[in-house]
Each structure stands twice: as structure tokens, then as C-alpha cells.
Structure 1
Amino acid sequence: MKLPSLALASAALALAASPVLAGPTFERATAPLMGDESEAVGAPILLLAALGAAVVAGAVVVASGDDDDNPVSP
């Protein structure tokens, strides 16, 4: 009975200690941007809005589907 308890304790210790041992070993670097450029400048907002509207419309259609819950067996 001691072996499962020991295995559980060592697994819990490993899970708790892994973020501490990993620690920040390097300085985080940022991506270089040229001038005032941004990745969101050319984003197709209209396409994203249409896709979102289609997803919402699809969810409404699925949710309001056929409510035929009558029993089939006599």
C-alpha cells in the first residue's frame, strides 16, 4: 500500500516543482516591426464579420431545429 502512495506523492511533487525548475532562462524578445506597421492593418474585417454572422445563423438553425419529440412506439 505504500508504493501507490509514494508514486502519487512523487507525481504531485513533480507536477508542482516543474514550473519552478523550468523558470525563465532567457529574456523574451519582441518581433521587430518596420515603422508603425501593425499586423491588423490588412485584416479582412468584413470577411470575419460575415463568417461570424454565418456561425451565429447556423447555431440558431441547429438550436431551433425540428422539435419532433413525439414517441414512436405505441
Structure 2
Amino acid sequence: MRIWHWIFGSYRFILLFFVRNGKVCLDEHVVPLGVNAGFECAGVVINEQHFTKTSNIWGIENRKKGTNTNRIAVFRKPE
């Protein structure tokens, strides 16, 4: 699995994915790990998509399969 992350000053941003067809949300696992590592969790940004997906061409309806949200965990390293 590839993990996307960005660092800006004392802030860390981690792009979170769903696994097992959306049954496991990684934010529920990553946030406690970040806090245990000494970071403060500033929040989880959720971008929910409300548009027709290109997958409709292949007969997959929106909000039924695949990823319909993007989530980014925001951590801050205390000084």
C-alpha cells in the first residue's frame, strides 16, 4: 500500500484510504497511532463527492461501490 503524506512546518497531513471495500476506515486506526506517537490530532478533513462518477459508464452507480470520500488526517507536532 502506498501512503500519501505532506509536511508543512509542524503539521503533518496523511491521506487516508478505505480498505476491504469500505468496511475499514483507516482514520479510525491512524488517528490513535498518531496520538500515541506524540502528535496532536487537529482533525480529519472529509471531502464527500456528490457527482456522477465516470464508473457509471461501466454500470457502477455512485455511492454504491468504490471511494466516495477523501479523508485527510491532520496532525501537529507539539513544540
* Pair in the same fold by TM > 0.5: no
Considering fraction of residues, name the structure with more helix: 1
After TM superposition, the score normalised by the length of structure 2 is 0.21
Higher strand share: 2
Q: Of the two structures, which has the highest relative contact order with CA contacts closer than 8 Å and spacing of 6 or more?
A: 2
Question: What TM-score does the superposition give when structure 1 sets the normalisation length?
Answer: 0.23
Higher gyration radius (CA): 1
